[in-house]
Amino acid sequence: MQIATTVREAKAICRAWRREGKTIGLVPTMGALHEGHGSLIERARKENDKVFVSVFVNPTQFGPNEDFDKYPRHFEADKAFCEGLGADLVFHPAPEEMYHDQHCYVNMDLLTETLDGVARPIHFRGVCTVVSKLFNISGADRAYFGEKDAQQLAIVRKMALDLDFDVQVVGCPTVREADGLAKSSRNVYLSPEERAAATAIYRSIRQGREMMREGLAASELEQAMAATIDAEPLMETEYVSVVDALTMQPVKTVDRPVLVAIAAHDGKTRLIDNFSWDPAEAGQTAEA
């Protein structure tokens, strides 16, 4: 497994692979790797000749009062993790390598204006910018993203389409702990009490799926799921929102594929999760 810390090195390695006719799978990460990332790397390993994992805590996607400084960084463990899963290249640049003065940004409207885009106004601009750079640096054929960050996945898909990136964006299922909590690098922030309280999120997801099956209205479902989360004294719902799966705009009537997105605060830690629902597959329409 090779390690590159500069854009020039990473590009040279990928260029040589492409000259040999090899396909490249890109797994963008911010490190602190866990089984969720592992599932992306394994999928990339199966579907491509070469696997490129980036480990970069991207400063431009963190707001001024967010956790950029305390975000977990364990590069030696991440390297071993990638090697164990058969990655070919780990790209681990310093922020100065990725960003120059007066750097240009990639922006998107509509899809970034709801859900996490409200509480984190510059977040998706940073994500789109760094992901565009990684697409260009790697020249990847496929890029792998977790469905836990469903809004990010929808935005990256739309960006790849709109900007004619020649890459297939692949969404991979959320990996969960035994009690349903979605794996996340931020779970390490949780105290034992907060970790126990966090299970309310998955309880609300199970409840939401049941309500969808019963054909209840989006607003009823949002309220009931939020109440389940808020019943845990340590938890506070930021939003539970039923949105169109492609545009991320709120829907009242579940008459098309939707995303039910959740953000909740568990003590000082902000957790997100979601489930998708397609009434055509479920054979029913939930009315407003």
Catalytic positions, please? Answer: 37
Q: How far is the CB of 130 from ligand PAF (least distance, A)?
A: 5
- Please say which residue, 149 or 266, places its beta carbon nearer to ligand PAF: 149
Question: Which residues, other chains included, contact 17 with Cβ-Cβ below 8 Å and sequence gap of 6+?
Answer: 24, 49, 50
58 in contact with ligand PAF (CB under 6 A): yes
30 binds ligand PAF, rule: CB under 6 A? yes
132-191 binders of ligand PAF (CB under 6 A)? 149, 152
Return the residues of window 225-284 that contact ligand PAF according to CB under 6 A. none
**Residue 29 vs 204, nearer CB to ligand PAF:** 29
Q: Which is nearer to ligand PAF, 55 or 221 (by Cβ)?
A: 55
Our CB check for ligand PAF shows the closer of 108 and 225 to be 108
Residue among 80, 75, 87 at smallest CA distance from 10: 87
By the rule CB under 6 A, 129 interacts with ligand PAF: no
Question: Smallest distance from the beta carbon of 60 to ligand PAF, in angstroms?
Answer: 9
Dihedrals φ, ψ of 249, to 5°?
-95, 145
**Segment contacting ligand PAF by CB under 6 A, of 22-30, 95-103, 105-113, 175-183:** 22-30
- Site residues (vs ligand PAF, CB under 6 A): 28-30, 58, 61, 127, 130-131, 149, 152
